[in-house]
Structure 1
Amino acid sequence: MWDAHRNGTISKTNPAAAAHSWCLQLLFPSERVQSAYSYLKSFISAENSVKEKSHASKISQPGVPPMETPTIPTFQHPVYELPRKTVKIIHRLLRVEAAQGSEGKMTWKDLCKVFRSLNFTIDDSTPGSAVNFFPPSPKDRPITIHRPHPDPELSPLRIRQLGSRLRRVYGWSEDWFKISKGTE
């Protein structure tokens, strides 16, 4: 119906369409029918639609030295010197290549020993098998690990999951842990 009005051809087979088209020609003799969007768009000039850049121009002006990019301070991670057995357990947790020969289960006692040697506080007074490990720095968040039961051993899958969690929560990596000189 609208196409018939736009094209100037009025359907003779549909009298209602012809009457409607005739009414539109009376109301809008020289204008064509258009949507509100296209009607408003016709009033906006091309000059107003030029978008200004929100970032600074990279072209340097003569006489003005270019700005220096600020240097980001590098984060110095702590290096812990621990006994050989403790470092070996940590490397198993973090899946270091040097510890690949020692796959298998890990005892809960060994895991607690590692956290104590890193000055974590262990709180096993929570109900159930959940044990909270509080880091020495109060700004770091504690981590909760469930004590395995009935056997006090962590499966290889749980060791891998715990290692990835320690990497994510505390940022641990293998270069944080070195073997102390007196225990070689």
Structure 2
Amino acid sequence: MEEPPGGLADFQPTFEVDARALKVFRTVFFDPAANTSAGEVTWRDFLHAMDCTGFTVQKLYGSVWHFQPTRLDVERSIQFHEPHPRGKIPFLVARRHGRRLGRAYGWYGTMFVLKTNS
């Protein structure tokens, strides 16, 4: 199981997300020991996942999208490029997005859990 770098578990929240968002985060923070298959992520699903974790999403110019945290205890925003022409993020690019999210916010794969309907 993936562990947080440098003992960040004490400071990082656990995000309860729906199945659609969880699938995105399992891809961007892919762990071959926990996941059975790697795949692409649709851009719409990526936008949904970021929204679920407390970001507002704004298209800037060209393929650039701006993600501003609103419900997180951070002030740093991040930008990603929308994939084109297919609208799907290839697996290796999705992994790169995961590394960027890890560096920017200290995120790692086991922070994301399926929201229960209670």
Shift >2 Å, 4+ stretches: 96-100, 137-140
Pick the aligned partner of 2:104 from 154, 159, 169: 169
Pick the aligned partner of 2:34 from 90, 94, 98: 98
Q: Deviations over 1:2-31 (max 9, x none)?
A: xxxxxxxxxxxxxxxxxxxxxxxxxxxxxx
User: How many matched pairs?
Assistant: 108
User: Is the CA contact 2:64–2:82 (under 8 Å) kept in the aligned structure 1?
Assistant: yes
User: Is the CA contact 1:92–1:100 (under 8 Å) kept in the aligned structure 2?
Assistant: no
User: Is the CA contact 2:27–2:39 (under 8 Å) kept in the aligned structure 1?
Assistant: no
Q: CA deviation at 1:161?
A: 0.8
For 1:164 and 1:133, how far apart are their aligned partners in 2? 16
- State the identity %: 28
Pick the aligned partner of 1:132 from 63, 66, 77: 66
Greater strand percent: which structure?
A: 2
SS of 2:35 mapped into structure 1: helix
Q: CA deviation at 1:138?
A: 7.0
Matching residue's letter, 1:159? A
For 2:68 and 2:57, how far apart are their aligned partners in 1? 6
Q: State the match for 1:120 in structure 2.
A: 55
CA-based RMSD of the aligned residues comes to 1.9
TM-score normalised to the size of structure 2?
Answer: 0.81
Structure with greater contact order relative to length (CA < 8 Å, sep ≥ 6): 2
For 1:116 and 1:139, how far apart are their aligned partners in 2? 15
User: Is the CA contact 2:20–2:49 (under 8 Å) kept in the aligned structure 1?
Assistant: no
Identify unmatched segments of 5+ residues in structure 2: 1-8
